[in-house]
Structures are given as structure tokens and as C-alpha cells.
Amino acid sequence: MMATTHALAGMALAGVTALVAPEYTPIAVSAAGAGGVFPDLDLYGEHRQTLHYPVYYSVGAVAALAVALLAPAVGTVALAAFLGSAALHSVMDAFGGGLELKPWLATSERAVYDHYRERWIRPRRWIRYDGAPEDAALAGALALPTLALSTGRLQTAVYVLLAVSVVYTLVRKPMVHVTERLVDTLPPTVIDRLPARFTEDFTG
Ligand SMILES: [Zn+2]
């Protein structure tokens, strides 16, 4: 799933605060937006491994939630929302596609790394790949509760996330074809210096 879908999912979850402590909803939703994007910052490292912790983020989120309930404050609520959203992201990745450069071909058995069990979780492909039409539809649906709850800059941020989702969905497949052509034109010495993950699918 797209990083934006993850952000919107976490924000929708954080919207639950509106039922119990609405004064904390803006901070919870903002922190959840950041926490939803955060794991994908490992895109150029060991993607879906370095910053993805389906088990540990979840444990941390439960602990942080307990602290936030006992001592509600901007800091504790923000931490609980951030961790909760990062946990949701890491778990949700198991329901998307694999790690391959063309995930619509469904050739990879790696969705997200489980550090606790020291193994890769296989992709369920309910959302076939990041940037699939159903991914954009999910992002749209997840945006609705936050749009209803928020105003001002937070609402603008949701519209920006939606716009990025739509553009990404439109360019997702063409982007790979362009990269493919680009890699074809590169001299072998340059290709050798690129991380294998970016070139192996293209160069065979
Ligand atoms: Zn991810």
C-alpha cells in the first residue's frame, strides 16, 4: 500500500480520540499521519525491514496508549498515536503486495519483515500492489472520517495526501517502464553501482 494510504489509515484510527478526548484529536491525528509514513522512510535501505516492526511497534503502541490514558498530555497522546499508526502500517503491509519492482506480477513472497520471529511475512495481496486502483479507493475511503473531523491545515493535509495518492496511482506502472528504459541505456559500470534491488528485475 502507498505511504499515503498508511498515513490516512492511522489518521482515521486516531480520529477515535474525538469520542473520548476531542481536545487531543488534532495532535493525535497529526502524529498518526507522521507515524503512518515513517516506516516507509526505509525505502532506500532494506525496505519493509529496517523501519517496519509489526510486532514491536504494536507492543510499544499498547504501552504508549496505557500511558496516554493514565497521563493524557500532548506528548503522551502524540507518542501513542505515532506508534499506533506505525504499527498499523507495518501490519497492513502484509495485506498488500510483495517487494518486487513489478508487484503486479506477484512473484515475491516478501511483504514485510517480522523481527520478532526473524522471518518475512508473505503478501496476502488484498490490495494487489502499492498504487493499484483499489489502493487509491482505500485511501479515499479512509480519508472520509478525518475530513469530517478536521478543519484548517489538517484538512488541507488530507487533501494533499489524497492528491498525492491519485497522482502516484496514475504514474505507478508508467514509472517502472520509464525506469526500465533508463536502466537499459546505462553503461554496465553504472548499473553495477546501483543497489541490486533496483536493477535486477530489469537486467534479468
Ligand atoms: Zn511499508
Q: Residue type at 33?
A: G
Radius of gyration of the chain (CA): 18
Residue 97 CA to residue 34 CA, distance in Å, equals 22
All residues with CB under 5 Å from ion ligand 1: 39-40, 93
Question: Residue 113: phi, psi to the nearest 5?
Answer: -90, 135
- Res 143: pLDDT: 98
pTM: 0.91
pLDDT tens track for 103-114 = 999 999 999 999
Residue 64 CA to residue 111 CA, distance in Å, equals 26
Span from the CA of 83 to the centroid of ligand 1 (angstroms): 14
**Is the model's pLDDT at 119 over the cut of 90?**
yes
Span from the CA of 193 to the centroid of ligand 1 (angstroms): 25
CA 14 to the chain's CA centroid: 15
